[in-house]
């Protein structure tokens, strides 16, 4: 075995040297680390390319139904490490780098983390791609190749500063530019009516603006125990590298900005999570994705089948939230106009093809486009939307003749706005929520009218995560622990993890589990020492000591985007209350606590930014207060991203999932933390509920807070007044007062920030109700439940036992399971493993072409 590894490593070293010379003109003895990264990637890529070509041919020749996944966001994490992991060549590559004389971790950390998404929605898309590829499902994914991903977050004396994220500074060995498949997308222009062969009106367009979308393909490698693995394509469109997108006439007229608008169209990802702003460029981005991808999809279909008679049988398109919902009018338009299908046929086909996943019930996140804006930028698509809407309204009127209000509620166009969710529901055959509670809320609250009319369209599929990335890849110690006990089947069949239950009460296993946790905490703290030094007002690093962090303290983690409904502020208040209690009596709490918080705030979201500032000031005061004898430490980790999550999550003892019940559609961080051996303190929200049911009493001891129904009731009654709590609960009052009395604020800006936080809780702002996310309402039970946490943590063995039970019951939260459900319930697609004969053929051609 060792000998074999040695030999393989030697061969790869040769290849790497070959690339260093032929691609970089570099003497291998003098290569820069970045060149080594490139050469390693190119070498590994060869292996991937063979299977990639063979998978594509397998799909084309099979003529099976295919899924096309459309998403404005992806968060794949670093590609080289992920690919090494799915190709199972980790030990081999370590050996290779050792031979070449470079440090494995250093080389791998050179790659930047492609931040092509905001948070859960984008990461879910990447977990889904991993599962699609691993389960050999015939699929292809589309997105945008943003030049700048989600901003890099820096914290300057507590204030979030957004720096551009230039992930494409260096050549990316994992993307394949594909000029042959570039597409032209048309915006604006004037329309002219004409008749198609069914004597139905369609619109021609002239004087339009043309934008060229150029695809870059990324391989998505399926995990497999053998050389038989599928490779899917993630095709990302860019407008950057097409010189004709530059508008010279405008430039000559002195309009420098507008001249570059189309060249710059895919430059930046809109950095909003659960919030849409209705900006024009965003609309153009969305249509770019839709139009280019749809042309691609239809061309593929024609190439395979010659015409569209079987389109509804062979194609499934899943839209990740409403962002790509323009696919509905655009598909109808193309089919009726360019391909001369009848309107009715085109509409029915589109409905059958498209599926829509909703990811939020927050009204500020539901997309609405200004009617004039859309009509001006996309006149033909607007015209189709009007027609779809007429059809919908007629339908509703027919079924509910007396109910004009219902028609208004369901109408796609209302009050000068186009409601994309209504369009997406009407235009697709299935709409799904992302957890059971979320699915219920869609049916009974936000899309009630649609549910009444089309009950069969509504379903839910609970989110999942890939255990390969979020356990195997990010937590080597724990993975070995699991493998040693139950083997490795869990990697592709996560239900196997159940067998771990047998070890929950086994003392040596408990001890080993706790040791692993400790090692992961140590790894995190070492990482933070190097990468999370604080910055002063000017952004310069100031020496930050982590020496007082006790690895045996309880590490609680709340890591996710900063949003009011996620209630990081409740966590902060709980920490303030704890601090005051410790000031009175440092022995009041038996275990030390290290509270880790991380997450980005949208650039214009002031309340969220104030919350970050508050954590900074809490840390400044509390971490340095000798009176509490190092019992409590607070760390805000800058720039939360996939790579940092991989370091933070394995180190967690406690997972904070404390959103207002009914607001977090699913959550996926909750799942990642649990499979890494953290216990959850959480509300009855999103997937927490299903996790509680799977893990069962007594292994889920820290559930707290009001239910979604209770809060909905309070809202309807309009009977909640946070001042009641303020005046009745002295501990809570004291914590709130501390926001105003200068306990934590040192500067005017800090005073203002915390004053504003106080006001959102007690007065409301911008026309919103005071404490609309019920922070104070749940705070008492939250605080008390945190004390229960500490009590259990004192009993290490009971803690470990509970944690192992938690991991063991997480089998159903793998994205493999979610994807399996999508494939059966929504898409109707079957696995299509790469054809061995085709693979052999491609391999042979490859071997023959490799010059010795
Ligand atoms: C987010 C939800 C999360 C959910 C992810 C993935 C949006 C619009 N929604 O609760 O807030 O886990 O989607 O489904 O980003």
pLDDT at 169: 82
Tokens of 404: 């004009």
Tokens of 795: 């009993």
Q: How crowded is residue 550: how many other Cβ atoms within 10 Å of its Cβ?
A: 16
Instruction: From the CA of 124, give the closest atom in ligand 1.
Output: 6
The answer to whether residues 636 and 572 touch, using CB atoms and an 8 Å cutoff, is: no
Q: What is the mean pLDDT of residues 704-715?
A: 97
Nearest protein CA to atom 8 of ligand 1, as residue: 274
Q: Percentage of residues in the chain with pLDDT exceeding 90? A: 94
Q: Is 672 designated active site? A: yes
Catalytic residue, chosen from 55, 58, 466, 668, is 668
Q: Is 359 designated active site? A: yes
- φ, ψ at 148 (rounded to 5°): -115, 120
Which pairing describes strands 231-238 and 368-370: parallel, antiparallel, or unpaired? Answer: unpaired
Residue 457 has pLDDT above 90, yes or no: yes
Q: Is 194 designated active site? A: no
* Secondary structure, 3-state, 493-540: CHHHHHHHHHHCCCHHHHHHHHHHHHHHHHHHHHHHHHHCCEECCCCC
Instruction: From the CA of 362, give the closest atom in ligand 1.
Output: 8
Q: What is the mean pLDDT of residues 783-803?
A: 98
- φ, ψ at 27 (rounded to 5°): -65, 115
Q: Cα separation of 120 and 663, whole Å?
A: 14
Q: What is the mean pLDDT of residues 279-284?
A: 97
Tokens of 367: 């997309």
Instruction: From the CA of 664, give the closest atom in ligand 1.
Output: 10
The answer to whether residues 545 and 569 touch, using CB atoms and an 8 Å cutoff, is: no
Pocket test for ligand 1, best of 128, 324, 434, 559 (most atoms within 8 A of CB): 434
Tokens of 835: 């054809």
pLDDT at 327: 98
The answer to whether residues 457 and 471 touch, using CB atoms and an 8 Å cutoff, is: no
Q: Cα separation of 631 and 727, whole Å?
A: 29
Nearest protein CA to atom 12 of ligand 1, as residue: 667
Q: Ligand 1 centre and the CA of 463: distance in Å?
A: 9
pLDDT 10s digits, 47-71: 999 999 999 999 999 999 999 999 9
Residue carrying the six token digits 């309340």 = 607
Q: Ligand 1 centre and the CA of 275: distance in Å?
A: 11
Tokens of 220: 């998505």
Q: What is the mean pLDDT of residues 772-783?
A: 98
The SS3 of residue 176 is strand
Q: Ligand 1 centre and the CA of 753: distance in Å?
A: 27
Instruction: From the CA of 686, give the closest atom in ligand 1.
Output: 10
The answer to whether residues 458 and 443 touch, using CB atoms and an 8 Å cutoff, is: yes
Phi-psi region of 418 (alpha: psi -120 to 50; beta: other; left: phi over 0): beta
Pocket test for ligand 1, best of 75, 470, 661, 666 (most atoms within 8 A of CB): 666
Residue carrying the six token digits 């609960």 = 729
The answer to whether residues 640 and 77 touch, using CB atoms and an 8 Å cutoff, is: no
Which residues, other chains included, contact 472 with Cβ-Cβ below 8 Å and sequence gap of 6+?
85, 479, 491
pLDDT band at residue 263, thresholds of 50, 70 and 90?
Answer: very high
pLDDT at 247: 87
pLDDT at 1: 62
pLDDT band at residue 171, thresholds of 50, 70 and 90?
Answer: confident
| Residues in the chain, overall count | 852
pLDDT at 2: 81
Residue 328 has pLDDT above 60, yes or no: yes
- Burial of 294 by CB count in 10 Å (0-12 exposed, 13-18 middle, 19+ buried)? buried
Where is average pLDDT lowest: 27-36, 397-406, 686-695, 785-794?
A: 27-36
Q: Is 134 designated active site? A: no
Residue 852 has pLDDT above 60, yes or no: no
Q: Ligand 1 centre and the CA of 665: distance in Å?
A: 6
pLDDT at 851: 62
Q: Percentage of residues in the chain with pLDDT exceeding 70? A: 100
Catalytic residue, chosen from 561, 609, 647, 805, is 561
pLDDT at 847: 92
Catalytic residue, chosen from 566, 593, 600, 609, is 566
Q: For ligand 1, which residues put their CB under 6 angstroms from it? A: 119-121, 124, 273-274, 321, 359-360, 365, 434, 463, 664-668, 686
Catalytic residue, chosen from 212, 633, 672, 805, is 672
- φ, ψ at 362 (rounded to 5°): -65, 125
- For residue 549, the number of C-alpha atoms closer than 13 Å in the C-beta half-sphere is 23
Strand partners, 140: 68, 233
Q: Is 301 designated active site? A: no
Q: Name the residue among 583, 568, 547, 645 with its Cα closest to residue 613.
A: 568
Nearest protein CA to atom 6 of ligand 1, as residue: 121
pLDDT at 654: 99
Pocket test for ligand 1, best of 71, 272, 359 (most atoms within 8 A of CB): 359
Q: Ligand 1 centre and the CA of 176: distance in Å?
A: 30
Which pairing describes strands 315-320 and 354-357: parallel, antiparallel, or unpaired? Answer: parallel
Residue 467 has pLDDT above 60, yes or no: yes
Q: Ligand 1 centre and the CA of 464: distance in Å?
A: 12
pLDDT band at residue 104, thresholds of 50, 70 and 90?
Answer: very high
Q: DSSP states of 370-436 as a string?
A: EHHHHHHH-HHHHHHHHHHHHHHHHHHHHHSTT-HHHHHHH-SEETTEEEHHHHHHHTSSEEEESSH
Q: Cα separation of 149 and 347, whole Å?
A: 35
Q: Ligand 1 centre and the CA of 654: distance in Å?
A: 21
Q: Is 644 designated active site? A: no
pLDDT at 767: 86
Q: Name the residue among 261, 268, 145, 366 with its Cα closest to residue 603.
A: 268
Buried b (16+ CB within 10 A) or exposed e, 525-535: bebbeeebebb
pLDDT at 249: 86
Q: Name the residue among 72, 90, 64, 36 with its Cα closest to residue 223.
A: 90
Nearest protein CA to atom 13 of ligand 1, as residue: 121
The SS3 of residue 318 is strand
Q: Name the residue among 615, 624, 606, 535 with its Cα closest to residue 756.
A: 606
Tokens of 302: 């024609």
Pocket test for ligand 1, best of 126, 274, 599 (most atoms within 8 A of CB): 274
Return mean pLDDT, the chain. Answer: 96
């Amino acid at each position: 075995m060792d000998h074999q590894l040695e030999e393989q490593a030697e061969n790869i070293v040769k290849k790497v040297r070959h690339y260093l010379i032929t691609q970089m003109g570099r003497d291998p003895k003098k290569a820069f680390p970045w060149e080594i990264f490139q050469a390693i990637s190119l070498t590994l890529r060869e292996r991937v390319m063979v299977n990639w070509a063979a998978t594509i041919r397998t799909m084309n020749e099979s003529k099976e139904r295919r899924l096309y996944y459309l998403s404005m966001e992806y968060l794949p994490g670093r590609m080289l490490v992920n690919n090494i992991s799915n190709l199972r060549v980790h030990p081999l590559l370590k050996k290779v780098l050792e031979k070449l004389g470079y440090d494995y971790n250093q080389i791998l950390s050179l790659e930047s983390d492609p931040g092509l998404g905001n948070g859960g929605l984008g990461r879910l898309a990447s977990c889904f791609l991993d599962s699609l590829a691993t389960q050999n499902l015939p699929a292809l994914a589309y997105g945008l190749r943003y030049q700048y991903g989600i901003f890099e977050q820096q914290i300057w004396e507590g204030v979030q500063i957004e720096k551009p994220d230039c992930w494409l500074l260096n050549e990316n060995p994992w993307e394949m530019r594909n000029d042959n498949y570039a597409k032209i997308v048309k915006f604006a222009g004037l329309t002219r009516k004409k008749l198609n062969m069914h004597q139905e009106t369609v619109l021609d367009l002239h004087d339009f603006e043309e934008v060229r979308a150029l695809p870059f393909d990324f391989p998505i490698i399926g995990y497999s125990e053998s050389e038989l693995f599928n490779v899917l394509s993630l095709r990302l469109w860019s407008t950057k590298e097409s010189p004709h997108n530059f508008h010279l006439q405008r430039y000559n007229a002195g309009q420098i900005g507008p001249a570059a608008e189309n060249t710059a169209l895919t430059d930046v990802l809109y950095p909003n999570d659960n919030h849409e702003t209705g900006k024009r460029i965003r609309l153009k981005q969305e249509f770019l994705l839709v139009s280019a991808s749809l042309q691609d999809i239809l061309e593929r279909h024609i190439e395979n089948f010659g015409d569209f008679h079987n389109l509804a049988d062979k194609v499934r398109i899943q839209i990740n939230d409403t962002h790509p919902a323009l696919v509905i009018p655009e598909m109808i338009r193309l089919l009726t106009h360019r391909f001369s299908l009848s309107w009715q046929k085109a509409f029915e086909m589109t409905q059958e093809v498209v599926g829509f996943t909703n990811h939020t019930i927050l009204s500020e996140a539901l997309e609405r486009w200004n009617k004039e804006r859309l009509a001006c930028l996309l006149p033909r698509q607007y015209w189709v939307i009007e027609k779809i809407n007429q059809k919908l309204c007629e339908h509703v009127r027919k079924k509910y003749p007396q109910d004009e209000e219902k028609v208004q509620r369901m109408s796609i166009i209302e009050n000068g706005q186009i409601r994309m969710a209504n369009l997406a529901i009407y235009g697709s055959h299935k709409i799904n929520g992302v957890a059971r509670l979320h699915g219920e809320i869609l049916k009974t609250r936000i899309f009630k009218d649609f549910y009444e009319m089309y009950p069969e369209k509504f379903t839910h599929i609970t989110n999942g995560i890939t255990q390969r990335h979020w356990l195997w890849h990010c937590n080597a110690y724990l993975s070995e622990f699991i493998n040693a006990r139950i083997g490795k089947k869990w990697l592709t069949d996560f239900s196997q993890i159940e067998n771990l239950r047998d070890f929950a009460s086994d003392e040596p296993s408990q001890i080993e589990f706790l040791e692993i946790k400790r090692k992961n905490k140590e790894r995190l703290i070492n990482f933070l020492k190097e990468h999370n030094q604080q910055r002063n007002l000017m952004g310069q690093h100031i020496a930050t000591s982590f020496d007082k962090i006790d690895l045996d303290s309880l590490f609680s983690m709340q890591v996710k985007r900063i949003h009011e409904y996620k209630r990081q502020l409740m966590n902060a208040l709980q920490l303030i209350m704890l601090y005051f209690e410790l000031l009175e009596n440092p022995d009041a709490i038996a275990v030390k606590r290290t509270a880790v918080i991380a997450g980005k705030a949208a650039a214009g979201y002031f309340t969220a930014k104030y919350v970050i500032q508050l954590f900074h000031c809490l840390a400044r005061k509390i971490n340095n207060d000798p009176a509490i004898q190092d019992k409590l430490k607070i760390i805000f980790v800058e720039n939360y991203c996939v790579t940092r999550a991989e370091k933070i999550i394995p180190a967690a003892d406690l997972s904070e999932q404390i959103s207002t019940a009914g607001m977090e559609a699913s959550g996926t961080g909750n799942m990642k933390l649990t499979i890494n051996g953290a216990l959850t303190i959480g509300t009855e929200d999103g997937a927490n509920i299903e996790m509680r049911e799977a893990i069962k009493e007594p292994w889920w001891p820290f559930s707290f807070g009001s239910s979604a129904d209770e809060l909905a009731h309070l809202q309807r009654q309009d009977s909640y007044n946070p001042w009641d709590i303020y005046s009745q609960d002295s501990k809570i009052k004291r914590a709130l007062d501390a926001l105003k009395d200068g306990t934590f604020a040192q500067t005017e800006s800090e005073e203002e920030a915390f004053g504003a936080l106080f006001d959102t809780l007690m007065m409301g702002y911008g026309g919103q109700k005071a404490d609309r996310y019920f922070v104070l309402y749940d705070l008492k039970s939250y605080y008390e439940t945190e004390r229960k946490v500490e009590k259990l943590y004192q009993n290490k063995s009971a803690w470990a036992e509970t944690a192992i039970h938690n991991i063991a019951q997480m089998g159903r939260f793998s994205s493999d399971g979610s994807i399996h459900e999508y494939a059966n319930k929504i898409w109707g697609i079957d696995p299509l493993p790469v054809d061995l004969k085709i693979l052999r053929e491609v391999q042979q051609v490859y071997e023959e072409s490799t010059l010795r």
